[in-house]
Structure 1
Amino acid sequence: MIIVIPMAGLSSRFKQSGYNEPKYMLSLWDKSVFYYAIHSFKAYFNQEKILFVCRDICNTKAFIDGECKKLGLQFYETITLEKETMGQAHTTLLGLEKSETKDTESLLIFNIDTFRPNFSLPITTDFSEIDGYLEVFHAEGNEWSFVLPDKNSNKVLKTSEKDRISSLCSSGLYYFKHTRDFKEALKFSMQNNITTKNEYYIAPLYNILIEWGMDIRFFTINLSEVVFCGTPRDYERLKQLNKKDIV
């Protein structure tokens, strides 16, 4: 399995709020936002490769090397992009292609601005029998990626972006049994211009795989098990809280 962390976003909301660094570089408690996001996968350090896909700004590659040293993470690769991308899915695709990741490798994608303390893959399913899964929680609001569930199982019937088709909201963690499936679904989206606000998001790709007859599942966690740091408001709120209560 390869764990991909797309981090080529513009951090536009942070820039507009006066922050001078990308959000993943910001200090939080005694570390950085990056540190806590990646620490989520401590159980898989130096077992599964972690691929960082970033833009060539603010000396990010050197920053990543320094943070990975603090984390004790050795099995990783950083792909640096020269241009802006067309969204998180596009960033992931470029990273996979440049890293020459095998199509048969399983793929786990997660955000750089979200913390998932003590993450581990679900143990309640046989991964050889499914083609992918999303991690979800119940929440209010319309700002999430959503899952429409089968009434009698944890099978995904449909996903949506910023369209509340259920109360099941994505935590931003996505699994694909084969990297090839992710790549082919995204290339189909690009060929048919299937975007959300002119960007390519990851959750909608599962709709294509479902149409192709693949088995996509969801696994539910408690909202308290995931920590968001994607907006200035989230960041400033976390700074006021006790680290021990969060991670």
Structure 2
Amino acid sequence: MAIIITMAGEGKRARKMFNTNLPKFEIKINNKSFFDRTLSSLKALRSELFIFVINNDEYEKIVQKACQQNGYKNFKIITILGKTSGQATTAYYALEMIPKNEHVFIFNIDTQVENLIIPNNLENFDGWVLSTKVSGNRWSFVKEQNHLLTEIIEKRPISDLGTIGLYYFKTAGQFKEIYDKYNSLVLNENGEAYIAPFYKFMIQRNYKVLVTTIDRKYVYFLDDPIDLERLRDDEKT
């Protein structure tokens, strides 16, 4: 199993919200960085291989120090040059470090999750999307039936469930094959290589994608003003 953490985005929304030029993962809330909050969220997977994709060599020491402080010992860092077309493309660079039959998780750097539970039956599915109740239209929205994904789309509310940014693919080889075949379509439809739209093509091919839901109180989108206020209030108590 490998967990890919994508850290090469520009982070425009977060940097504007916090009025800073710091890279997104270094921004702090209550003296705890986005990056530390990401690592804390995934502590249930701490013993697995983590691959951090960055776009500046200067960030490597920051990543190493944070991993050591949070008890992450099995990790690799890959540095890419320049801007990618989106999170899926950033994650794609990490595949060279992962055997093609290994399970793959992909997570962003701007979501904090508490009480994360990984389903124990993922072996039975080709993918997994973790969702929560959302409002507004900035999310990757999902529909499901009997916990199986039936529809997924960017920025158009087809339900009140949005992905939290944690994605699972049964194998690295599967993700690579899906990306290679459909990335141009995802870019044409969305203007950016988001992760979620690739599941649309998976379910068109009758792949089984599990959808589970986590209570909204356990999820904080760190670049969302309402969630930021809620997090600050919750950490006072």
The one-letter code matched in structure 2 to 1:41 is L
Tell me whether 16-25 or 140-149 shows the greater mean CA deviation.
16-25
1:236 Cα deviation after fit: 5.6
Matched with 2:42 is 41
Q: TM-score, normalised by structure 1?
A: 0.88
1:197 Cα deviation after fit: 4.1
Matched with 2:132 is 137
Matched with 1:180 is 173
Matched with 1:69 is 68
Matched with 1:110 is 107
Tell me whether 195-204 or 137-146 shows the greater mean CA deviation.
195-204
Q: 2:233 aligns with which of 238, 241, 246?
A: 241
Matched with 1:28 is 29
Give me the whole-angstrom Cα distance separating, in 2, the residues matched to 1:137 and 1:117: 13
Q: 2:204 aligns with which of 211, 214, 221?
A: 211
The one-letter code matched in structure 2 to 1:203 is A
Matched, 1:146 2:145: no
Is contact 1:195–1:201 with CA below 8 Å preserved after alignment? no
- Change in Cα spacing, 1:220 to 1:236, as seen in structure 2 (3 Å) is closer
Is contact 2:186–2:198 with CA below 8 Å preserved after alignment? no
**Paired residues, number:** 236
RMSD: 2.0
Deviations 1:130-185 (A, max 9, x none): 111100112221111011212xx111111101111111111111111111121111
Stretches of structure 1 that go unaligned for 5 or more consecutive residues are none
The percentage of counterpart residues that share the same residue type is 31
Give me the whole-angstrom Cα distance separating, in 2, the residues matched to 1:42 and 1:93: 23
Give me the whole-angstrom Cα distance separating, in 2, the residues matched to 1:110 and 1:190: 19
Stretches of structure 2 that go unaligned for 5 or more consecutive residues are none
Give me the whole-angstrom Cα distance separating, in 2, the residues matched to 1:74 and 1:144: 33
Q: 2:117 aligns with which of 88, 102, 120?
A: 120
The one-letter code matched in structure 2 to 1:230 is D
Matched with 2:7 is 7
- Change in Cα spacing, 1:137 to 1:238, as seen in structure 2 (3 Å) is closer
Report the 3-state secondary structure (helix = DSSP H, G, I; strand = E; otherwise coil) of the residue aligned with 1:207: helix
Give me the whole-angstrom Cα distance separating, in 1, the residues matched to 2:124 and 2:188: 29
Q: 2:161 aligns with which of 168, 182, 204?
A: 168
The one-letter code matched in structure 2 to 1:127 is L
- Change in Cα spacing, 1:128 to 1:14, as seen in structure 2 (3 Å) is closer
